[in-house]
């Protein structure tokens, strides 16, 4: 018997779609577009470091966590916040 779908699943796929949209932008964007986005959004110092390492230097989240002495979960949370800010501009 099939289980009924719950609202969380649809919001999860929406987040996946939003993540893909941001990641797709950064794969194809030229440097001036990336710099424009970075200047338009307001980031904390830690978010700025994570933005640079993840989207510009292409470091993975575990490397970022080790470098900044924070957990991978914190990096994931900060990346979600950064993505939300980027999506408001795009």
Could you say which DSSP state residue 90 is in? -
Six-digit token string for 4: 């009924």
Q: Please state the domain extents for the chain.
A: 30-89
Average pLDDT, the chain: 84
What is the CATH code of the structural domain delimited by 30-89? 1.10.10.10
The burial of 82, by beta-carbon neighbours within 10 Å (0-12 exposed, 13-18 middle, 19 or more buried), is given as buried
Once rounded to an integer, what is the mean pLDDT over residues 41-55? 95
Q: How far apart are CA 27 and CA 87, in angstroms?
A: 15
pLDDT at 10 over 60: no
pLDDT at 11: 44
User: Is the separation of the CB atoms in 58 and 10 below 8 Å?
Assistant: no
Give the H or E element holding residue 41.
Answer: none
The more confidently predicted of residues 49 and 1 is 49
């Amino acid at each position: 018997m099939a289980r009924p779908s719950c609202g969380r699943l649809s919001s999860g796929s929406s987040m996946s779609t939003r993540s893909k949209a941001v990641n797709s932008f950064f794969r194809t964007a030229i440097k001036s577009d990336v710099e424009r986005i970075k200047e338009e959004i307001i980031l904390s110092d830690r978010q700025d470091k994570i933005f640079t390492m993840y989207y510009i230097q292409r470091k993975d989240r575990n490397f970022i966590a080790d470098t900044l002495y924070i957990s991978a979960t914190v990096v994931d949370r900060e990346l979600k916040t950064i993505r939300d800010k980027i999506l408001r501009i795009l």
